[in-house]
Amino acid sequence: MSGRKHHEIWIEQCEAARTIKARYGLKAAFDYLIGEKLMNFASAASKHPEFARGFPRFISEARQMFTPEEMRTHITRLEREQSKKAGESLEEDELHRESPIAAAERLRQFATVKELLTSTKLGTS
């Protein structure tokens, strides 16, 4: 897949999130874009340079779609839901449980995404 195709993926996802927001509300749009698509993109960016190149622009667009207060509120909600889900997964059988390494990586990526979305100022050093 070319760099252009990777670029189109997140643009299409942001457009879809705008439609979801208009039809189904803020929570549905946030869960779709941040909880699902941006987290999947972050995972891909950690393994593939072509995704990593588009990641800052995806973050920038996501920051423009939601207010800082919406970001804080819904990221806090996603964190609570993840904690609850992690507790429930301990009760499930071994076949469905996420490996400790995968769980740690997912939490690390979530923390990075959270910081990028809620930071008052982004820049390069």
Determine, yes or no, domain membership for 21. yes
Burial zone of 42 (CB within 10 Å; 0-12 exposed, 13-18 middle, 19+ buried): buried
Query: What is the sign of the dihedral through the CA atoms of 119, 102, 77 and 19?
Result: positive
Q: Is residue 125 situated within a structural domain?
A: no
pLDDT for the residue numbered 10: 92
**Residue 123 covered by a domain:** no
pLDDT tens digits along 59-95: 999 999 999 999 999 999 998 988 777 666 555 555 5
CA atoms within 13 A on the CB side of 54: 23
- Is residue 37 within 8 A of residue 11, CB to CB? The reply is no
Instruction: Give the domain extent around 86.
Output: 3-118
- Count the domains in the chain: 1
Residue 95 lies in a domain: yes
Tell me if 124 is assigned to some domain: no
